[in-house]
Amino acid sequence: MLFEKLDLELPGGLITCLLGPSGVGKTSLLRLIAGLAHGAKGSVADHRATPVAGRIAYMAQQDLLLPWCSVLNNVLLGARLRGEATTGAIEARARELLARVRLADSALARPAQLSGGMRQRAALARTLMEQRPIVLMDEPFSGLDAITRYEIQALAARLLAGRTVLLVTHDPLEALRLGHRVQVMSGRPARLDAALEPPGEPPRDPADPALLTHQAELLKRLAQAREAP
Amino acid sequence: MSLLRPVIILLALAGLWQAVVWISDAPAYILPGPARVAAMLAARWPELLEHGALTLAEIVLGLVLGTLLGTTSALIIAWFRPARHWLMPVLVVSQAIPVFALAPILVLWLGYGMASKVAMATLIIYFPVTAAFFDGLRRTEPGWLDLARTMGGSRSSILRHIRIPAALPALTSGLRVATAVAPIGAVVGEWVGSSGGLGYLMLQANARMQIDLMFAALFVLGVFAVGLYYAVDWALRRALPWQADDAGPTD
């Protein structure tokens, strides 16, 4: 039994980061919320008790860009899948998002021509294109090198402002840079601890001493989480 | 160099062939030398070309029909889950029965003309095309499907925008195999009963002990088959430029 009477609350408009040892069920929880996994009883609803299905955008660790489509068409994938028009205003918005993730010049390139960081930025643009109030992210930046990750974190924090985000990560520093709230999941069935709430608005400066204090606390919690039954 | 290489290989093979002729001292009606075959090619090329064109037409028509049938079948099997249990055995049977065994029946039903040969070529490529495409449709990257579901894609739009394009590289492998085996179907069909084509010409030449003509026909068939293969391969690469380069005959 992975979960039993587990409650996770995501405050609206804030970024919640979820950490925990491998295999504790972070990804499974994310998939349950996204409606991609079955076999669990439970409900995902907003504060008015309305189900959130159809209001969620999902970003995975792999960029999941379609290799046969240009970057622009990848960003327009959701519109094409729903049979919406992909010209005019929609295309203009896609191009504007690409400009905001600094990919304006690569709009017509194929994903294979891009670097790992560029690909993940394209995936970020595709996620934002969906205009969903809730964004679920599963270790979206873990495949990138440190500097690229640092840059894309700042970009993501700015672009995701105002949306309700659940970000699964195994990088404590990433969680503290990006999260309004940071929670550690542990044990089986899984439990959640009280949220750490670092001061200031994301993206936070990693040189901030307060952040380093929190990082020490977070590492301690993660070590305990690994020992948890 | 890349153009020179096939020429060198051809010359080396012809040299080896001539050497076998000299050493074995075989009479020309058993094993004619390359020079005799070349002379035959030069003397009777209009006739060879005419029969070759007929065989090529049968192969190409068989390829087109077999590809249409095969891709349609694969789509049906992939779309309707229950159809899988009904159509899969049919597919396996279509592969298990040697097409050669069906040739006389096809000639009986469809006559001595092109139709029976086209049907043979179609049948022989039906399984590789269907199996390859179905396999591709079944093995879509799960992450893409998850993403498409969260985006609100319907089953048919996911098939159209994700599963089919994702299966195209697998289909092209099937088409390469199909292009290589389709000539077998056409020529076997011509052997069983026909009034034209390279297979017919070879049988006639064989019966009259014109082994040099037989070899000439074989040469034309080989050139056409290889040419067709490379043409199809080139077209497939052009059609799917995003596909990894490691899926071709050049590696």
At B107-121, the pLDDT tens digits run: 899 988 899 999 999
Q: Cβ of B25: how many Cβ atoms within 10 Å? A: 7
With beta carbons under 8 A apart, name residues in chain A contacting B162: 66, 81
CB of B148 less than 8 A from some CB of A: yes
Rounded CA separation B136/B147 (Å): 19
Span B190-236, pLDDT tens digits: 998 888 999 999 999 989 989 999 999 999 999 999 999 999 999 99
Task: Name every residue in A having a CB less than 8 A away from some CB of B.
Answer: 31, 34-36, 54, 56-58, 60, 62, 64, 66-68, 77-78, 80-83, 110, 112, 130
What local confidence, expressed as pLDDT, does residue B26 receive?
85
Name the CATH topology of B45-239: MetI-like fold (1.10.3720)
Kindly determine whether residue B150 and residue A57, on different chains, have CB atoms separated by under 8 Å.
yes
Predicted pLDDT of residue B81:
84
Place of tokens 């492998």: B173
For residue A179, what are the CA distances in angstroms to A13, A57, B33, B248? 11, 18, 82, 48
Rounded to 10°, the helix B114-138/B81-96 angle is 130
What local confidence, expressed as pLDDT, does residue A54 receive?
Answer: 82
pLDDT at A196 over 60: yes
Q: Scanning the structure block, which residue is given the tokens 């160099």?
A: B1
**CB distance from B142 to chain A under 8 Å?**
no
Residue B246 banded pLDDT, cuts 50, 70, 90: very low
SS3 category, A220: helix
pLDDT grade for B244, boundaries at 50, 70 and 90: low
Where are chain B's structural domains?
45-239
* Residue B168 at interface with chain A, using a CB cutoff of 8 Å: yes
- Greater pLDDT, B245 or B133: B133
Tokens 């076999």 — which residue?
Answer: A39
If pLDDT is split at 50, 70 and 90, which confidence band does A165 have?
Answer: very high
* Summary mean pLDDT of chain B: 89
Residue B249 pLDDT > 60, yes or no?
no
Residues A116 and A38: their CA atoms lie apart, in Å, by: 32
Determine the average pLDDT of the residues in A187-199: 84
Residue A211 domain-assigned (yes or no): yes
Which of these ranges, A101-115, A152-166, B80-94, B150-164, has the smallest mean pLDDT?
B80-94
> Can you give the pLDDT at residue B1?
62
Cα dihedral A177, A183, A185, A189, rounded to 10, equals: -160
Average pLDDT, chain A: 89
Q: What is the mean pLDDT of residues A3-25?
A: 87
Measure CB to CB from residue B152 to each of A67, A68, A81 and give the nearest one. A81
Whether chain A has a CB inside 8 Å of the CB on B155: the answer is: no
Q: Do B148 and A112 touch (CB under 8 A)?
A: no
Return d(Cα B108, Cα B99) in angstroms, integer.
14
- The CA distance from A160 to A157, in Å, is 5
Burial class (CB in 10 A: 0-12, 13-18, 19+), A195: middle
Q: Mean pLDDT lowest for which of A20-29, A44-53, A194-203? A: A44-53
Q: Please answer yes or no on whether B242 and A64 come within 8 Å at the CB atom.
A: no
Residue A175 belongs to a domain with what CATH number?
Answer: 3.40.50.300
Mutate which of B140, B146, B151 to disrupt the A interface (most A C-beta within 10 Å)?
B151
Q: How many pairs of residues across A and B have Cβ atoms under 8 Å apart?
A: 59
Contact A36 B153 (CB under 8 A): no
**ipTM value for the complex:** 0.89
- In this predicted structure, what is the pLDDT of residue B248? 41
Residue of B82, B99, B236 lying closest to B172 (CA atoms):
B236
Q: How far is B131 from chain A (nearest CA, A)?
A: 22
Range of the domain at A147: 15-55+132-227
B146 touches chain A (CB under 8 A): yes
Distances (CA, A) of B171 to A65, B84, B231, B234: 21, 18, 16, 15
Average pLDDT over residues B137-160: 93
Number of domains composing chain A: 1
**pLDDT at residue B31 tops 60:** yes
Decide if A221 is inside a domain: yes
Contact (CB, 8 A) for A172 and A222: yes
Task: Evaluate whether residue A139 is within a structural domain.
Answer: yes
**In a domain? residue A207:** yes
* Residue A218 belongs to a domain: yes
Task: Give the residue among A50, A48, A63 at the shortest CA–CA distance from A122.
Answer: A63
Outline where chain B has alpha helix (H).
4-24, 34-43, 45-79, 81-96, 99-110, 114-138, 142-150, 155-158, 164-192, 198-207, 211-239
**pLDDT over 60 at A9, yes or no:** yes
State residue A95's pLDDT score: 95
How far apart (Å, rounded) are the C-alpha atoms in residues B167 and A87?
Answer: 27
- Specify the range with the lowest mean pLDDT, choosing from A90-99, A153-162, A185-194: A185-194
Average pLDDT over residues A165-194: 90
B165 reaches A (C-beta below 8 A): yes
Q: A198: pLDDT confidence band, cut at 50, 70 and 90? A: confident
Q: Compute φ and ψ for A19, nearest 5 degrees.
A: -120, 170
User: In this predicted structure, which of A69-73, A115-119, A192-196, B152-156 has the lowest mean pLDDT?
Assistant: A192-196
* pLDDT for residue B250 is more than 70: no
A1 within some domain: no
For residue A44, is it within any domain?
yes
Give per-residue pLDDT as tens, A36-60.
887 777 778 777 777 787 889 999 9
